[in-house]
Chains A and B, each alone.
Chain A
Amino acid sequence: MALLEVRDLRTSFFTDAGEVKAVNGVSFDLERGKTLGIVGESGSGKSVTAYSILQILASAGKIVGGSVKLDGQELVGAGEKVMKDVRGNKISIIFQDPMTSLNPTYTIGHQLMEAITLHTNRTRSQARERAIEMLKLVNVNEPEKRINQYPHEFSGGMRQRVMIAMALACEPDILIADEPTTALDVTIQAQILELMQELQKELGMAIIMITHDLGVVAQICDEIVVMYAGGYCERGTADEIFYNPKHEYTKGLLRSIPTMNTMGQKLKPITGTPIDLLNLPEGCPFAPRCENAMKICLKQMPESMDINENHKASCWMNVKALLEEGGESNE
């Protein structure tokens, strides 16, 4: 049994303008100690997936279907009491913008200790010791002094480290990182990623890395889920996805990355604009932008298909390939 099992998760936001189907049937497994990457553009539903797991959606958002099982325990519909025990304790999350994610009117010490005292039975001084320990762990210098400082006295990279310290204070089984490096410089980015990998080795936790940056994914992820317009396109091991992509969207993404080999050639972006989540079409949401779209792509949503034991994809092209194969071998 995997540590985290997500099956056919569906989340919608009920707004004045209608129901926005942010997540439409995402499934994946997360094994202990492994790193899963969720990749997609803005609006693909990757962050909402994470918020749905922890049930920290904005008030207009609701999980409308599917299941999320942590160590066999169903979280969807489990109630606040269960979730409060999960949040910050068994599953932690760090967010994209560390400046706005920390309360500006409290010291970081206060915020760290809050996380600690919420889930453990430590006394105040024990919690403070633990907080300093955590700051050391994430390589914040002079932790005894800095623990009394306010968020605005830290630099961007430092704040993200503080967030990581806060998230890991209770040694969670899973750390969800929602675009943790997007708001940071490239050099700081590398440091943070390195830090996360070190901590993963030390503490043995699993990581869900949410990002739109394929480079980050390539660096640290064991498995990848590719999302588009709230649905998943394909999922599999990193090798499979990068070297054997089986969904037109993934192929388009990989093609659009400029590499040393393609130097001098025209950039190949994916044409068109992302779909309107208020008006999802019947068929595959990527079809209008897909070079190889077929009539069936516009009419019906493709089912998920096993490519091999490490790789599932949801694209009619694979069915077409199979049919052609079957047709050929029949001759």
Chain B
Amino acid sequence: MSLKIRTKFGSIKIERRLTYPRHISILTTVLAILLSFAAVAVILTLMGINAFEAFAVMARAFIVPRLLFESVKQSIPICLSALGIAIAFKMNFWNIGAEGQIYMGMIAATGVVLLHVYYGAFNEYLLLPLMTISSFLLGGVWCLITSFLKSKLNVNEILTTLMLNYVAILIVDYLIHGPWRDPKGYGFPLSIAFPNYAKFIFVLDSPAYTGLLISILAAAAVFFVMKYTKIGFEINVVGHSLNVAKYAGINVSRVIMLGSFLSGGLAGIGGLSIVSGIIGRLRPRASPGYGYTAIIVAALAGLNPWLIVVASLFFGGLLTAGESLQASMNVPKAATQMIQAIIFLFILMGEFFKRYQIIFERGGNGS
């Protein structure tokens, strides 16, 4: 698009760039983040909240050790889900259902724990591996349902994955208010607390470090799969062009279903990291929208696994910052969602400026 606006002093032209230099990319992203904080500051001030104080409180989430650990912990489900989302998006499969897949992962993990505690099933040492496998499977299946519908019947996956989110949350609600409620929990809708060997504390006894290790391992795994395996190659081709993939003999249905299974599976493990790493049990609304934040993270990181790890840490910090903000300044948690969305929008707009440049031409009216 060449848009030209003529004025008295000259004209402004917007034109596609020929190359995408690195420094423009970084500059735009930084500028976008700064602008979004400016916008947030404006909104906060309009609502009578001292923006500087707010930012100071939020910054603590990245500095104070206790809060920093919280930030890292929260980044884990985001990171794992975002990695899964990245695989799906690479195939042009719009998996908006990470949130629901997270919940299904939580159900699977909790189920295994309950089987063990109530029925004596499984050895202690088997517990975490089993929980991992089951949450991966259940999350994967939850996504597979939608990709099956897409492959065979061309049912729009955006809507089906969204609907299943709501369903999954309600399933947890049912379980936790019903059969899975802790009988000794004074009637609160909570499951029993997980025993220590079912929690993410095997690295330095800290869920933060354990989780970080898992994030990095997962990112490495995704990177490896996408670059060096056959399925990774096929996912890439399918994502670029369905027609060419078919022409090359690639079984597109199979690729999409397998890819979405992996996608949902990763989110499922993200769910495991919540019940095992963050909360230590299952409860309703255990995920404050990690699955949606993960979409933002995946998009902003350009689907790159390593950038996803970094961006997850940032957004994990943002969530923790939001909690501090609520605690100390009585700002609603909804503000965090709003801030995330604003950052997202500005960085998306930044994408535009990376692709196009603005040229100012001197000279009056006329060609």
Whether chain B is bound by chain A comes out as no
